[in-house]
Amino acid sequence: MDEIDLLIDLHVRNDRQGPGGEDETRRAVELARLDARGHLRVADIGCGTGASTLVLATLLDAHVTAIDAAPAFMEKLRARADQEGLGERIAARVGDMESLPFADGEFDVIWSESAIYNMGFEAGIQAWDQFLRPGGVLVVSELTWTTSSRPAEIETHWTTEYPGITTVSANIRTLEQSGYRPLGFFFIPPHCWVENYYEPLRAAFPSFLERHEHHEDARRIVNSEESEMRLYETSGQWYGYAFYIARTPAASDETGAI
């Protein structure tokens, strides 16, 4: 297996492939002012095994097209959707978020949790804009600095790992300059990192290493994940995932729910 296959194998058995939480998805739905009875068309981009997809399909009268590049994640999502009686509301499709197979204006809502970093915030919101109908809503969570300054070692680490990381104000300015009208933002709390993501991931390490006979590539991935966890434990106050909720322009009044 190459590194990508190993990462998929490590993460596919968990409910989440990044920090987040059901309550936080619900809060973003509320801030987006989505009409639960609106027969919405939703795209969940970079959905992993579908933690947010399942919440959206449960909360909304919506058809959710969930898309991720990993076929194993899509298989897991289909099984979870069928188990929860949501199979008819969810279409799980394998695809690349940088070349999405959607029509212009196909969706009322574009949703993406902990995934837009694969493209970069500005590149993602601009590329996906074409798939939103006029007046449609964009909801993404993005790795973001929590303050305007931070210790040099944290700055160096994250600007090396993810050069696109910036502040809330800078991301909101990017949304405005890209033609969106911001509706709100919030940071997810620490338990979304620790209890919801890191602890289940750490629990998966022993069986993952055993499956791969403690190969050096598998050990390297575990060491990298553990290093990230330690960094958050000591320095998580300087960065986090923030939800950004924004609307595209529409000819009609945009103040109500869609």
Structure tokens given for 161: 């790992």
Three-class secondary structure of residue 84 per DSSP: coil
111-132 in b/e form (b: 16+ CB < 10 A) is bbbbbbbebbbbebbbbbbebb
Tokens 């990230």 belong to residue: 228
CA–CA separation, 19 and 231 (whole Å): 14
Contact status, residue 146 vs residue 240, Cβ threshold 8 Å: yes
Q: Where are the domains of the chain?
A: 19-189+236-247
Structure tokens given for 28: 């973003």
Task: Using CB atoms within 10 Å of the CB of residue 22, give its burial: 0 to 12 exposed, 13 to 18 middle, 19+ buried.
Answer: middle
Mean pLDDT of the chain: 94
Give the mean model confidence (pLDDT) for residues 183-208: 97
Give the mean model confidence (pLDDT) for residues 35-62: 94
CA–CA separation, 226 and 212 (whole Å): 18
pLDDT at residue 149, rounded to an integer: 93
Across-strand partners of 246?
Answer: 138, 182
pLDDT digits (tens, 9 = 90+) for 106-138: 999 999 999 999 999 999 999 999 999 999 999
pLDDT digits (tens, 9 = 90+) for 214-226: 999 999 999 999 9
- How many Å separate Cα 52 from the centre of its chain? 8
**Planar angle of CA 143, 148, 152, nearest 5 degrees:** 85
User: In degrees rounded to 5, what are phi and psi of residue 245?
Assistant: -120, 125
Q: Answer yes or no: is pLDDT of 61 > 90.
A: no
pLDDT digits (tens, 9 = 90+) for 64-79: 999 999 999 999 999 9
User: In degrees rounded to 5, what are phi and psi of residue 65?
Assistant: -95, 110
Q: Answer yes or no: is pLDDT of 140 > 50.
A: yes
Tokens 């009609």 belong to residue: 252
Architecture of domain 19-189+236-247: 3-Layer(aba) Sandwich (3.40)
Contact status, residue 248 vs residue 135, Cβ threshold 8 Å: yes
List all residues 6 or more positions away from 10 whose beta carbon is below 8 Å from its beta carbon.
Answer: 201, 204, 208, 221, 225
List the one residue out of 231, 240, 241 whose CA is nearest residue 156.
Answer: 231
